[in-house]
């Protein structure tokens, strides 16, 4: 297979797995942030928002230390018989989860806050248990939020470069993603390949975001 195609597949796989993990852990986290009255909640919100402002290399540097053989997570992985996580696809997934966390949690938190308690209370008085009302009332009403969260998480993971550079390295077929491949092509002055990949990524990102904005306009069920 063409190495650029391999890079593209790895990128898409990384983005898909990351998005899935983020939806699973981001949903309860966002729900808690939207509902909790805890006074130090803002500290958690700050931590989640950090990847928005931090240079990816800083995040990547700390992840490298954590995931490396001497770091707590990498060491743990080694201790249970695995290999250190730095420079592996798994390490890339862990890094991407941190990197894209705010892009999934924030839209979900916003939509949960906007929907408010009222519909959930209605459902409770209509005999729906907490899980029943979350999945059958909150999730369908919050659909635009989930869509936004999933697409932003996916698109942002596709666009990551600095973090991958720090913790993923450049192993073809394992950690070499499209953004790194573009960088490599430019380094070796292969502009035509760089054009192809860049244009492809641009088009993909554009289409995904357009789908979100278009669909969210159609699901106008979300009212204040």
Partner 1 sequence: MSLQVRLNIPRKDFTINVSLSVTPGQVTSVFGPSGCGKTSLMRAIAGLENRATGQIRMADEVWQSQDYFRPAHQRDIGYVFQDASLFPHLNVFDNLQFGLRRQARDKRRVSLEQAIELLALSPLLRRSVDTLSGGEKQRVAIARAVATSPSVLLFDEPLAAVDIAHKQEILRYIQSLHRELDIPMLYVSHAIDEVARLSDNLVLLEKGQQLASGKTADLLSQLSLPFANYEEAAAVLDTTVIGRDEFYGLNQLSFAGGQIEVSHGHLKPGDKVRLRIMARDVSLTLTHHENSSILNIFPAVIESMVNEGPTQKLVRLNAGGQIILSRITAKSADKLGLRPGMPVFAQVKAISPLV
The SS3 assignment for 127 reads coil
Residue 105 half-sphere exposure toward CB, CA atoms < 13 A: 24
Q: Please identify which residue in 83, 132, 173, 186 interacts with partner 1, judged by CB under 8 A.
A: 132
Q: Please identify which residue in 85, 123, 150, 166 interacts with partner 1, judged by CB under 8 A.
A: 123
Residues 153, 18 contacting (CB under 8 angstroms): yes
Return the structure tokens found at 96: 């991407």
CB atoms within 10 A of CB 46: 9
Looking up tokens 């009403």 gives 141
Decide if residue 121 touches partner 1 (CB under 8 A).
yes
Distance of CA 178 to the CA centre of its chain: 16
- Quote the CA–CA distance of 97 and 15 in Å, as a whole number: 9
Site mask for partner 1 (CB under 8 A), range 55-74, x = bound? --------------------
Compare residues 3 and 140 and give the one whose CB is closer to partner 1.
140
Return the structure tokens found at 45: 């919100």
Question: Looking at 18-26, 105-113, 117-125, 147-155, which segment touches partner 1 (CB under 8 A)?
Answer: 117-125
Q: Please identify which residue in 37, 46, 125, 192 interacts with partner 1, judged by CB under 8 A.
A: 125
Decide if residue 202 touches partner 1 (CB under 8 A).
no
Nearest distance in Å: CB 39, partner 1: 17
**Interface contacts to partner 1, rule CB under 8 A:** 118-119, 121-130, 132-133, 137, 140-141, 143, 221-223
């Amino acid at each position: 297979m063409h190495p650029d195609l391999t890079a593209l597949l790895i990128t898409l796989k990384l983005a898909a797995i990351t998005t899935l993990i983020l939806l699973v852990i981001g949903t309860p986290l966002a729900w808690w942030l939207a509902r909790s009255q805890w006074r130090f909640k803002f500290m958690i919100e700050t931590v989640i928002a950090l990847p928005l402002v931090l240079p990816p290399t800083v995040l990547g540097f700390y992840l490298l230390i954590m995931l490396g053989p001497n770091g707590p997570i990498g060491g743990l992985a080694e201790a249970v018989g695995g290999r250190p996580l730095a420079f592996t696809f798994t390490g890339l997934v862990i890094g991407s989860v941190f990197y894209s966390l705010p892009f999934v949690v924030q839209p979900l938190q916003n939509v949960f806050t906007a929907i408010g308690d009222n519909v959930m209370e209605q459902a409770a008085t209509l005999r729906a248990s907490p899980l029943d009302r979350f999945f059958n009332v909150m999730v369908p009403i919050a659909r635009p939020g989930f869509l936004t969260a999933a697409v932003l998480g996916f698109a942002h993971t596709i666009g990551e470069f600095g973090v991958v550079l720090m913790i993923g390295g450049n192993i073809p077929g394992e950690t070499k993603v499209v953004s790194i491949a573009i960088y490599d092509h430019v380094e070796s002055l292969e502009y035509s390949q760089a054009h192809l990949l860049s244009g492809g990524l641009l088009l993909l990102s554009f289409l995904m975001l357009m789908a979100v904005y278009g669909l969210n306009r159609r699901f106008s069920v979300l009212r204040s």
